[in-house]
Amino acid sequence: MSTCLAKTAYCAQFVYDNIQLVSMWLSFEDTTVLDNALITMEHLYKSGVVNIHLKRLMNEQSFFEIEYSVKKIQSKKDDDIDNEEQEQQREEEKIKFILTLDDIEDHKRQLTFCNVDLHQNMKQKIILLSEQLKLLHIIENIYLKLLKLEMSGHPEYQLKNEKYDIYDRTGKEVCGLST
């Protein structure tokens, strides 16, 4: 019972700390499918990592997922903490999200529909959506190749976990995504 209360308290604190982000997620009239797709794209470009898990040897389903993080929104700033501690806190104050196979398919569907619905004067967003779809297609092809190697019995691809960074390592903002 106490762990249930602790989880509830943690969730309530998370919502309280990130009320702006939660409000945006729940606001149907302000957020469109395009906005959701662009938000997800931005976070994938900032911190996306693909994790491929090959587990058929253990009679489990092999799968891949995409992990990304969102910086926790800070409502107050401590002036008493020195810069090094503040930097360490900033590193720790990220919320991790995982896109499962179903979530990835939903995201691809969003990108496809948004790409079709965009007006011709939004060429930059059309290009960004197309490039994200290509990236997801490449990820899926890599997964399928690794899966074929696993299923054929290749010894180096049994019970293997692969990790691929898909975020921008230059640190530059992707033009057209940031608000």
Dihedral, 145, 147, 152, 155 alpha carbons, nearest 10: 100
Band of residue 2 on the pLDDT scale cut at 50, 70, 90: low
pLDDT at 53 exceeding the cut of 50:
yes
Extents of the domains making up the chain: 1-28, 32-165
Question: What does pTM read for this prediction?
Answer: 0.69
Where does the chain show beta strands of DSSP type E? Answer: 49-53, 63-71, 94-99, 161-165
pLDDT at 131 exceeding the cut of 80:
yes
Looking at 41-50, 89-98, 102-111, 123-132, which range is the least confident one? 89-98
Residue 129 to residues 24, 47, 69, 126: CA-CA distances in angstroms? 21, 17, 20, 5
Closest listed residue to residue 147, CA positions, set 64, 66, 49, 67: 64
